[in-house]
Every structure is written in C-alpha cells, then in structure tokens.
Structure 1
Amino acid sequence: MYGELYTSTQKASPFHLNRLSDFKEQNDKRSFVYLDFAVSQAYLDFELLNPNTQSTTYTLSFSYPFIEDVRVYKRKRNTLKEIGFLGLTSGHSPNGRSWNTQITLAPHERANFYVVFTKSEGKPLATDMNLHTKGRFDQLSALQNTLIGSYFGLTLISILFALFIFYATQYSNALLYALYLISLGVYMAAYLGYINLIIPASNLDNGRLLYVLAIEFSTLIFVLFAQELLQAKKYLPQLKRVVEIIIGVQVALRLVFHFITPSLYEAQVALFMKFWYATILFLVCAVIAEIVVYLRYNKKVGVYFAISYLFMTLASVFMLLHHSFGLVKVTFFGLSQILFASVLEILFLSITLSLIIRQIYSDRNALAQKLLVQQQKFLNAYVQGQEEERRRLGAELHDNIGSRVSNIRRLFSTKPNKKDVEKELDQVCTEIREMAHALTPADIQLVGLAGVLEDLFQEVEETEGLKMQFNTYQFPEDLDEEKATHLYRIVQELVQNVIKHAKASTVSMQLFGHDESLTLSFEDDGQGLSATDSGEGIGLQNIRSRVDQLKGQFCWTPVHKTALQSWSLFPLNIPEFWY
C-alpha cells in the first residue's frame, strides 16, 4: 500500500482539499487497503517521482473487482485534477479484468496524488493497490491470464469428466459434482473480474450480485455433494436433515433479500452477514463431522475427500478474514490463494470420484461373480432335480406300471377274465397318461394354455377342496408352445405352494393379453409369509428362472392376506407376472 490511509465515517460527499480535516489517520501497516463496515469514505496520499529522462507511464491497479467508487486526483499546488474514475458507479467498464488507470509523469517530474475510496456503509472493502510501469503491468497481466486460463481449462475438463461418469455409470452424485464445478467457475470468473467485462457498464452492480449468489450456491451445492458422497443419509441421517433445512433457509433468504425486498437487505446487511457467517460455520463443521464418521468405513476415499476439503476450507477462511476483517492476505503472482486452493480441490475431488467409481465397478463385478456362483448352484440343483425325477419315473415304471404289466401277462397265461384285463389296461393307461402329463402338458397343442389350466384347476378342486377362480381376457389362443409351457409350469408351482404352505381356501388367477405383453395374476387368501421370511425356496427360484427366460417381470408380495386383494395392472412391453 502506498502512502498513509485516512478514513471517515461521515456521510460521503465530493472530495476536496478543504475536507482533509474530516478524515482520521489510521496508521495502518497493512500491505493492502482495508476499510471496515462503518467507513464510508477514505483516501490515500502519496508522492511519485519519475527518475527517467523521458516521460514514463505508470499503471495504478486494484485487485478487488467490485470496488464501488475510486477517484484518482493529481495535486497541483492547492488544486486537484481528477485523472481517473473507477468502480461500479463510474459508468464505464474496467480496462481489462481489473480496475486500473494510467498515470503519466514528465521527465524528472515529482507529483502528489490522492486516491479516494467511497463505499456503502455496512460493507467492508479489502483490495490490493499496485503501481507498476506499463511494461511490468502488461507482463504480470499476461502471466496471471495464463494461470487463470489453465484453471478454467482444468475446470472444464473436470466437468466433462463428471458428465462422462454420470453417462457411463448413472452415478447421480457425479452430476451434482459437475453442477458444483459450474457454480464454482462462475464464482471465480466474477471474483477475478471477468464478469465485469461481460455486463454492460450501466449494470455493473449485477456482477457483484452474481458474485454473491455464486458464493452462496457453490457452497450449498458442495455441501449437498459432500452429503451424498459421505453417505450422510446412512451414517448421520439426523445431521443430514438439519443441514438440508439450513440450506433451504439460506436459499430462501437470499432470494427474498436480493429479488423481493432488496431495500430490507441494504438496511439489515450487517445482521444478515452475521447470520450467513454463522450458518456457513455450522455447515463447515457438519461436513467435518461427516468426514470423521465416513473415515471409519472407507478410509481411502475419505482421506482424499478430506484433503480436498481442507484446501478449499482454509482458502475460504483466509479469504473471509481478508475481505471482511482485513486480517490475512495470501497471494501468488498477484492472484488470491483461493484460485490455487481451488485447483488442488478439483484435482483431489476428481481423484475421489475416480476411486468411488472404481469401487462401484468392483462391487458390481463382485455381485456379478456372486450371481454367477448362484446361477451355477441353481443349475446344479436343476440337474440334480432332473436326475431325481428320472429316478422317480424309473421307480414308477418299475413298481407300478411294470407290476401291472406283469399282472396282465399273468392273467393271459391263465384263462383271462375280460373285465379284469380291461380294468388293468385302463389303470396302466391312466398312470402312463398322468406321468406323461407331469413331464409335459401335451394338451396345450390341442386345447391351448387356458384349456389345460382349466383342467388343472378342476382336478385341484376335486382332490384338494380348493375353490379355484380363473378368468382370461384377450389372451392369445395361439401362444407359442414354449412360452405356454413355461406359464403352465409357473402356475403348477404356485398351486403346489398354495397346497403345501398357504392353508388357503380360495385361489384367484387371471390371464390378460395386451398389444405386446401378457399378464398373469395369481392370488390366494392363505396365511402368506412373515415379514422376516424371504421365501426364496427352490420353487420360487424356479419361477424366477422361467420368468427371466421369458424376459418378463415377477412381482411377488409375500404378506399375510385375510382376503383376496385387488390387483393393479401396468402395461409394459414385456410379460408380467403378479403374485
């Protein structure tokens, strides 16, 4: 900072030499200009000497892009000549991303200058004030623009990376991360002064509003992103709800104060800023608590996220202390530490996201391997069941049909009784037909699935005493035999489950045909299963396997039913099975 700082808390008025007594010297040793909440006007005076034998142009620049009113005067004897008018109220856009003005001195000229700041009460102001030769200023600006361009390039790559992850994995938090990077980019563009180059000179104050909103929303989006990444809903659900309530209140207050009652905001800005600081402090602590808990379950991901959070939190605290209280200033190459901290944050957050995606794929592969093992077990059980069925059929042929054929042979070896022979032959035919029917419902080709099911239900009613209700609606009669057989086996399995376990008195089943789908609805009034019983026996696994082969959807409700429940139908382009 050049010269001594003088401040005034009186109402701002045009500056002239007769008003110097209205200002109080601050004896400020800061390397930057800081005006606290109560100050309305301030000035710096300094002397500048041109040691060269030719005219030299100097550039006086200010780092803060939202200074309201800065006027630069050159003193000639007892008069002041205005040589620069900068800021949001100046009526013109800045010359470059930072506010600056040119000072030209003749060879060996010595001159006194006053830099006068005018600002709104209730808002602090912190800004660097640098004086360089024009050549040095251009060199420094080129370096800064290169660093800033690299930052925005990294941000754009990270946004595309997050969108690609969302597209490839449907991990919704990646989309929230991309949204955070966008809001962070808007905030940086405003803080670095680029927004002022876009907004018309007459509306420059909207750039400050955009800057404030970008701070708010980038903070809130980051907290929401952290909530999801750290699985706060699983580990700290109550804290998550409190955080969401505070975020909602913050957003509502911002919208009301800035867009509905801006005059109220201007009148109570100090109170609102205290509330904002308090809520931000709470959110920071809440995320820290969530990190500590998450580290117990996923240390590697938690550590990377904690490092990224540490960089940005410290930089944000330093920036807050600098701009609001004038306590700390950390810059590199004339740029705020928040830019470099943001670079580190983005790098570590992207690594964190990569680790999460890697973990997701690892879990999916493990699940796929587990499913493969389960399928193999099911296949083995299926093959074993086939072998057992063959042994059963062999026993049936040997014990029942074989013995009856032997009995018929014995009858023919003696003088046979016609009625006895006919009775034995009828019994053999009946048992063969039942065995064949158990192996494959051959009648499907002749009478269709509905006809075969009616026969099945009639037989169940006669043998088991169950009341069977069966209806069809627009069900195709020419259904593919393979699909019809699968459906028949599914119904057989369901009926057997009812007979063995349900203790039901009534069964209701419907078959519906749609344009491109089929629906089979099966209900009973039995005792059902308890909430803790998964019910995933071989029978239901067999049903699920057949439904999967039909590329359908099996919707099963294993609950106690005191009466037949009403069912709902949602047409799909695949078969449906409701139970």
Structure 2
Amino acid sequence: MKIIYFLSFFLISNFSFSMDKDKLEIDGKYTVDWNSTYTLSTLKTKTFHPLINNKISIGYNNHASIWCVFKIQNTDLKNSVKTWLCFENNHIDSLFFYDGKKIQLLGDRTNFVSPFMKGQCFSIALKPNENKTIQVKLKKEISFFEFSYSFDNEKTLSISSSRKTSFITLFLGSILFLLIFNFILYFITKSKLILKYILYSILTILYITIISNYLKNNLFNEFIYFSELQIYTACFWFISLSYFMMDFLELKKNQPQKHKIIYYCNLLIIVSILSSLVVLYTNLLNLLQFFFYITYSAFLILFSTITLASIANYKINKKNSLYVLFAFIPHFLWGNYFVLKSFSIIKADFHEDWVIYIGLYEVLFFGYVLTKNYIETFRKNNALNLEILAEKEKSIRLISHVQIRERRNIANIIHDNLGSKIAYVLQLLQLKNIAHANTTIQELANDIREISHQILPKSLDEGALLDSLKSQIYILNKGLQDVKIELFTYDFPENINEIWIYDIYLICLEIINNAIKHGESNHITIEFYGYSKNYRFQFTDDGVGFNSQGTPKGFGLENIEKRIHNYNGIFEINSVKNEGTIIQLSIPKKK
C-alpha cells in the first residue's frame, strides 16, 4: 500500500505540460453563439473578444456554441512547424475544426476520438513563414460550459497521455484488487458497510474513467453519451459516498439529526435526477437549470454536513473520525469549489484532473482502512477464540476434577460403610448366625438407600427441590454437633420444573460443606425467593470468612459460578474476615 502511494505521488509530480510556441505567433479571439446559428460564412460579421488566460467560461449553457478563431504564423523562415491545438475539456459535445483546407470533427457526441488523452487535439502544420487562420466551433448542450486551450508539440502530448494512462491504470488495478478482496470479505462478514464501499468503488472507477477520457480514448470510441453518463454517475457517486460515510461514522446511532439531513439531501438529489430525465424526455429544457441548482445546493449541504459530523464524531470514535477527515477533506474542498463555481460565486481555477486524484486516493484509503480493520478484528477474534478454547479446556479439567472428587467420595462411603458391613455379614453367615445376618443386611439396604438419596434424591426427578433439600438438611442437623442449618422459603414453589434443579441441589450441598469445612460455621441460613422474573438463593454463615476482594475464588466457588452462568444467572459473594460469608445466586425463569 505504501508503494502504491509513493508511485501515485511520483506520477502526479511528473504531470507537466509544456508548450512549444517559440516559433509561433498566435492571436486568438472568440465569440459566443447563444442559439448556435452562426456559420463559417457569417463569422466575419460577428463581434469577437480576445482570448485571455487561454480559458473560456460562459457558465450554465442551453444550446450555445463558442467560435474560436486563431491566426497563427510560423516565424521560422527555414523550417516547418507542427503543433497541436488542444481543448482541455474531454466532454464537449462536438468540436468542428477548419483550417481553410480540411475539416475535422471530434467530441463526446461523435464517433471520432482524439489521439491524446489530454483533450480534444487537432494537428496544425505550417510551412516556413506560413500564416493560417483556424476556425473552431465548440458546442455543449445544457450544461456548465467551460474549457481551456493550449498549443503543444506531439512529444509533450504523447508523454503526458502515456503518464496519465499509466497512472490511472495503476490505480484502477489497485482498486480492482481491493474490490476483489472486499467482495470476499463481504461474503464472509455480510457487512453492509463493505457492500456500500464496493458500490462506491465501482462508481468511482466509472466516474474517473469517464472524466479522464480513459473510456472514450481507450475502450469505447463510438459511445456518444459520456456527457450524460458523467453527470449522473457523479451524482450517484456522491450519494454512495455519503451513505458509506454515514455507516462508517454510525451517524444513525450517534448523530441522528445529521443522519436525517444527509438522508433527505440524497432523497432530494434522486428526485431531482429523475425529474431532469423527465424534462429531457419532454424537451422542456428551460426547466433543467432549476434542477441543476437544486442538485448543487443539496450537494453543498451534504458535503458540509458530512464534514461537521466527522468533527463532532471525534469524541465518540477518534480513529474513525480522523479517517473520514483525512480522506474526505480533499473531496469536501473540491465539491464545494465545483458547486460555488457553478453558481458563479467564485472564479478560482481548479484543474479537472484533481478530482481524479481525489477519487482514487479516497477509494484506496478507505479500502486500506476496511482491510486493516478486518485484519485487526480477525486477530482479536482469533485471540478471543483461543481464550474461549482455553476456558473450555479449563472447564473440562474442572468437571473432570469434580467427577474424580465425587467418585472418590462414593468410593470412600462404599469402602468405609458398605464394605465393612458386607464383610461382617459374610462372617455371620459363616458362623450360621442367620438372624443377625438378616438384620445386618436390612441395615445395609437402608444405608444404600440413604447414600443414594444423599448423592441425588429420586424426588428431584419430580421437581421436589425443597423436600429433597429439607430431607438432606435434617440428616445433616441430626449428624452434626454444634452446627445448625436452617432453610426458609418466600413464595418459592414446592415443585419446580427447571433444568437447573439438580445443579442447585448439588450447589446447596457444596456451599453447606464449604461453610462447615472451610468456614468453620456454627449457623448456616439458606433462603429461597420466588420472584416474577427470576429465582433467588441466599446462603449466610457465621464462619471465619475471608477477604472476598483480594482473595481469588477457590476451585469449588469457581465451579459454582460457571454452573450458574451457564443458566444466564448471577453469582455474587461477599465476605469479610471473621464476619462470615454471604453468597447470592439468581437464575431467570423460563420465558
């Protein structure tokens, strides 16, 4: 990308146009034929004005022609001179050239093509000390009409045309590369912003290749409607740019008023374009100027609003605001210059080629920004995916650890309780003490049922969370000394149909175990609340507590938090050293 910018500025800096007039004396005059009724034979009776600064502008035009007459003398007494008369406006409808011997025709409305991209160029050959009078009729219907002229040698014109062709080809190739890449990005991301950039880039390519004479000169020689195509492409080019800017700055969310202004300006421009087409079709050409002024005024408001929105957006998104200002200010200056000049408010000159440079620069700049943003987003997403993967692996390890711990508990219960009783039954059977063995077997069955209930009560399958928990608390209170566990409920249903019922049951036992084992609690209070949108569970103990702000969560609490978050719930813990612990859980109800 940096290489492209370097080449572009290098090429721009080498766009120099020289004029070899050392051997020529030139006297130029012009007259305006407002109704296009003059002929070669009647020119002598018309009033001519001297050509000043090699430039003519008559402003808004409706069916007018401009006649230029050049008297040229070759002052060299020995050598012939060949020069080219060039009119630097590629979108004059027709140019009629007459040197007393031959007639040539060029222009946008003709099938004839100038040999050079610089403009509409006619060759003039003069013998030593020869004089010639050249008449040229230039016509451009229903538009802003201005042009400049120059006399150049063939070498200069060839070099400048080659450089211009190379410059535009280089940039078009870069834009096409970015377009292909952004097409791929669009199919990946389905981003509307990228789609609008693609549309804007396509219109930029079309507009630049029209205004630079690239299409007419190199590709479509016989097409005769480039003038209209230039005007309407420019309008839709600006509209597409404004929509892209609105999305890029997120104006609908951040600056809704400016978003509305831009939206209605674009709507006005579209209506004006459609109306102008109707006017052209019905041949009511006098009304066309009105729609020109409406369109230009809307563009003036649109350019100013986008610039102000970019400045105001600086506090919201500094980077995007700077991107827009850096890219759009050249467009803003050129657009306002063009509109104000069309209104004849300013007279300053601004070379047409600059809009080519601005458009290409802008498309390449935003293509680079979008590509850069996507790569940054891709990297962040990749890093996030790696973090998620690491969290999943950590969760799997935690789950495996829990499973191992629970299996170890079950193994210990079976070994310490059931194993010893089974061995005792076998001894009784060997001693043929059948009655005592039967009694022990019944005790063993009760123990197995009690252990099964402790692990996961059967009543949980029917939604009896409270009964299951009350039963387990009763057993714990009966078996523990100096520890009291209390359960209170507030509007909490006796039977509950939620998928998290098993997890809550095990979490309650885990919290009770932690409070007794690690918290050294003597009194544990459990409170269940039923609200309209969620269930809330609170566990309070009077244990030794800990610094909940500075101490990381242990394995048990971290596992509980993950299980609660899995149900879109909230886990909160507050503890102060030597003042006990409060744990609060909240889980939303099913919708």
Q: In 2 relative to 1, CA 309–141 (structure 1 residues): closer, same or farther, beyond 3 Å?
A: same
Q: Which residue of 1 aligns with 2:73?
A: 49
Kept after mapping to 1: 8 A contact 2:428/2:437: no
Matching of residue 216 in structure 1 with residue 240 in structure 2: no
Matching of residue 13 in structure 1 with residue 37 in structure 2: yes
Q: Which residue of 2 aligns with 1:307?
A: 326
SS at match of 2:60: coil
Q: In 2 relative to 1, CA 12–224 (structure 1 residues): closer, same or farther, beyond 3 Å?
A: same
Q: Which residue of 1 aligns with 2:92?
A: 67
Kept after mapping to 2: 8 A contact 1:65/1:192: yes
The alpha carbon displacement at 1:327 in A equals 2.5
Kept after mapping to 1: 8 A contact 2:83/2:152: yes
In the alignment, the residues of structure 2 paired with residue 29 and residue 47 of structure 1 have an alpha-carbon distance, to the nearest angstrom, of 15
In the alignment, the residues of structure 2 paired with residue 265 and residue 409 of structure 1 have an alpha-carbon distance, to the nearest angstrom, of 116
In the alignment, the residues of structure 1 paired with residue 216 and residue 170 of structure 2 have an alpha-carbon distance, to the nearest angstrom, of 20
Q: In 2 relative to 1, CA 209–307 (structure 1 residues): closer, same or farther, beyond 3 Å?
A: same
The alpha carbon displacement at 1:189 in A equals 1.0
The alpha carbon displacement at 1:2 in A equals 6.3
Task: Calculate the aligned-residue CA RMSD, in Å.
Answer: 4.5
The alpha carbon displacement at 1:48 in A equals 0.4
Offset from partner CA, 1:218-267 (integer Å, 9 cap, x none): 21222222222223243224433443344344335434543796336734
Residue type at the aligned position of 2:89: Y
Kept after mapping to 2: 8 A contact 1:62/1:100: yes
Report matched runs for 1:484-563 at 5 Å.
493-496=499-502, 527-529=532-534, 538-539=562-563, 561=591
In the alignment, the residues of structure 1 paired with residue 461 and residue 167 of structure 2 have an alpha-carbon distance, to the nearest angstrom, of 83
Q: Which residue of 2 aligns with 1:361?
A: 378
In the alignment, the residues of structure 1 paired with residue 284 and residue 379 of structure 2 have an alpha-carbon distance, to the nearest angstrom, of 51
Matching of residue 196 in structure 1 with residue 216 in structure 2: yes
Residue type at the aligned position of 1:45: V
- Of 175, 178, 181 in structure 1, the residue corresponding to residue 198 of structure 2 is 178
- Of 107, 114, 129 in structure 2, the residue corresponding to residue 108 of structure 1 is 129
Q: Which residue of 2 aligns with 1:131?
A: 151
Offset from partner CA, 1:311-350 (integer Å, 9 cap, x none): 233234445556774833344xxx7222233343344334
Kept after mapping to 1: 8 A contact 2:116/2:158: no
Q: In 2 relative to 1, CA 243–411 (structure 1 residues): closer, same or farther, beyond 3 Å?
A: farther
In the alignment, the residues of structure 2 paired with residue 8 and residue 23 of structure 1 have an alpha-carbon distance, to the nearest angstrom, of 10
Offset from partner CA, 1:113-171 (integer Å, 9 cap, x none): 333333335x2212221222334433433333333333333333333343454466665
In the alignment, the residues of structure 1 paired with residue 191 and residue 331 of structure 2 have an alpha-carbon distance, to the nearest angstrom, of 24
Kept after mapping to 1: 8 A contact 2:85/2:123: yes
Report matched runs for 1:131-170 at 5 Å.
131-166=151-186
Offset from partner CA, 1:468-494 (integer Å, 9 cap, x none): xxxxxxxxxxxxxxxxxxxxxxx9844
The alpha carbon displacement at 1:297 in A equals 4.0
Residue type at the aligned position of 2:373: I
Kept after mapping to 1: 8 A contact 2:93/2:227: no
Residue type at the aligned position of 1:185: I
Kept after mapping to 2: 8 A contact 1:301/1:352: no
Q: Which residue of 2 aligns with 1:262?
A: 281
Larger radius of gyration: 2
Residue type at the aligned position of 1:218: W
Kept after mapping to 2: 8 A contact 1:41/1:119: yes
Residue type at the aligned position of 1:34: S
Residue type at the aligned position of 1:217: F
Matching of residue 37 in structure 1 with residue 73 in structure 2: no
Q: Which residue of 2 aligns with 1:506?
A: none
In the alignment, the residues of structure 2 paired with residue 340 and residue 65 of structure 1 have an alpha-carbon distance, to the nearest angstrom, of 17
Percentage identity across aligned positions?
Answer: 16
Q: In 2 relative to 1, CA 494–305 (structure 1 residues): closer, same or farther, beyond 3 Å?
A: same
Q: Which residue of 1 aligns with 2:356?
A: 339
In the alignment, the residues of structure 2 paired with residue 406 and residue 6 of structure 1 have an alpha-carbon distance, to the nearest angstrom, of 126
Kept after mapping to 2: 8 A contact 1:307/1:348: no
In the alignment, the residues of structure 2 paired with residue 129 and residue 359 of structure 1 have an alpha-carbon distance, to the nearest angstrom, of 50
Matching of residue 243 in structure 1 with residue 258 in structure 2: no
The alpha carbon displacement at 1:49 in A equals 0.6
SS at match of 1:221: helix
Kept after mapping to 2: 8 A contact 1:318/1:329: no
Kept after mapping to 2: 8 A contact 1:63/1:128: yes
Residue type at the aligned position of 2:236: F
- Of 276, 279, 282 in structure 1, the residue corresponding to residue 298 of structure 2 is 279
Residue type at the aligned position of 1:86: L
The range that moved more, 54-63 or 161-170, is 161-170
TM-score w.r.t. length of structure 1: 0.66
In the alignment, the residues of structure 1 paired with residue 141 and residue 46 of structure 2 have an alpha-carbon distance, to the nearest angstrom, of 18
Q: In 2 relative to 1, CA 242–404 (structure 1 residues): closer, same or farther, beyond 3 Å?
A: farther
Residue type at the aligned position of 1:228: D
In the alignment, the residues of structure 2 paired with residue 90 and residue 324 of structure 1 have an alpha-carbon distance, to the nearest angstrom, of 29
Residue type at the aligned position of 2:97: V
Residue type at the aligned position of 1:357: Y
SS at match of 2:121: strand
SS at match of 1:295: helix
Residue type at the aligned position of 2:362: E
Q: Which residue of 2 aligns with 1:485?
A: none
Q: Which residue of 2 aligns with 1:521?
A: none
Residue type at the aligned position of 1:59: W
In the alignment, the residues of structure 2 paired with residue 156 and residue 498 of structure 1 have an alpha-carbon distance, to the nearest angstrom, of 59
Q: In 2 relative to 1, CA 143–199 (structure 1 residues): closer, same or farther, beyond 3 Å?
A: closer
In the alignment, the residues of structure 2 paired with residue 304 and residue 461 of structure 1 have an alpha-carbon distance, to the nearest angstrom, of 61
Q: In 2 relative to 1, CA 322–15 (structure 1 residues): closer, same or farther, beyond 3 Å?
A: farther
In the alignment, the residues of structure 2 paired with residue 57 and residue 64 of structure 1 have an alpha-carbon distance, to the nearest angstrom, of 22
